[in-house]
Amino acid sequence: MKYLLVAVLLVACGGGDGPKLSVAELQDPATCMECHPQHYKEWSGSMHAYAAEDPVFVAMNNRGQRETNGKLGTFCISCHAPMAVALGLATGENFDPAALPAAAKGVTCYFCHNVENVTDIHNNPLKLAMDQTMRGGLKDPKGNPGHHSKYDAMMDSDRNESEMCGACHDINVPEAINGVPGGVDVERTFKEWKTTIFATDKRPTIHLTCGQCHMKSSDGLVADFDGVVNRPNGVHEHTWPGIDQALTPFPEMDVQAAQINRDLK
């Protein structure tokens, strides 16, 4: 079975007209690795991949569950393990990332590239299509038998307003929980960005989205198979360097540290 799956994935990276991979297969980041090895390598050491395993998050979620008698629910894991919530694999209580399959750990490829709509600005309001279509910022994506491809302005660094990033990087307590009043901001990164000149001034030389800083672009191939053309500034880093680093052994730790240092200079 293992070799059959590998064969299917290799065909998917070619230019044939074979059947699309199933939704379940597309939800596993390892599937993406076959055609997007560089993107996968970068993601695998990112804070998005680490989100569900971060010991600080796990400890804070467990404490929150205890102090609210479980009322906290999926409030934290909706952003740290969104696919686990979407697939009904976790409720927030007794959360154990080791018990989750790869498709449900952290912020995965499928979670971002299958977004159909952003319904609000707080606490992960992203609605997934749960289909075989992967969305992206390329206006003319090359067809492939692995999955359907679709252009989405929300993922176009020249057109988006960072609403997808703001979905989880703007956290607000929706209602009173254990004495904490509703409406309290836990994280307001997106809200703060919206008040800066980088958001309000639309001139191309000044306007900067989240992705333009945290997903630097370069020339290159977006996928590793025949027929894919080199796109000027068409490849985006999937490391999302910021202020955080893994606290436990994790892939690409040196790369993550180097990119943080690079961006701080």
Per-residue pLDDT 10s for the chain (265 aa) are 433 444 445 454 655 566 899 999 999 999 999 999 999 999 999 999 999 999 999 999 999 999 889 999 999 999 999 999 999 999 999 999 999 999 999 999 999 999 999 999 889 999 999 999 999 999 999 888 899 999 999 999 878 899 999 999 999 988 887 777 788 899 999 999 999 999 999 998 899 999 999 999 999 999 998 889 899 988 999 999 998 999 999 999 999 999 999 998 8
- What gap in Å lies between CA 70 and CA 135, rounded to an integer? 35
Indicate whether 238 belongs to any domain.
yes
Place of tokens 């009322």: 71
Note the pLDDT tens digit of each residue in 67-83: 889 999 999 999 999 99
How far apart are the C-alpha atoms of 99 and 189, rounded to whole Å?
30
Contact between 90 and 81 (Cβ < 8 Å):
yes
In a domain, 203, yes or no: yes
Residue 133 lies in a domain: yes
Containing domain of residue 159, as a range? 115-140+148-243
- Asked, for residue 30, whether it belongs to a domain, the answer is no
Is 1 inside a domain boundary? Answer: no
Structural domain includes residue 70? no
Dihedral pair phi/psi, residue 64, rounded to 5°: -60, -40
Give the pLDDT of residue 214.
Answer: 95
Question: Quick one: pLDDT at residue 121?
Answer: 86
- Alpha carbon dihedral 256, 126, 197, 51, in 10-degree steps, equals -20
Candidates 128, 129, 133; CA nearest to 149 is 133
Burial letters 152-163, b for 16+ CB under 10 A, else e: bebbebeebbbb
- Residue 258 located in a structural domain: no
Which pLDDT score, from 0 to 100, does residue 17 have?
62
| Count of domains for the chain | 1
Q: Does residue 232 lie within any of the structural domains? A: yes
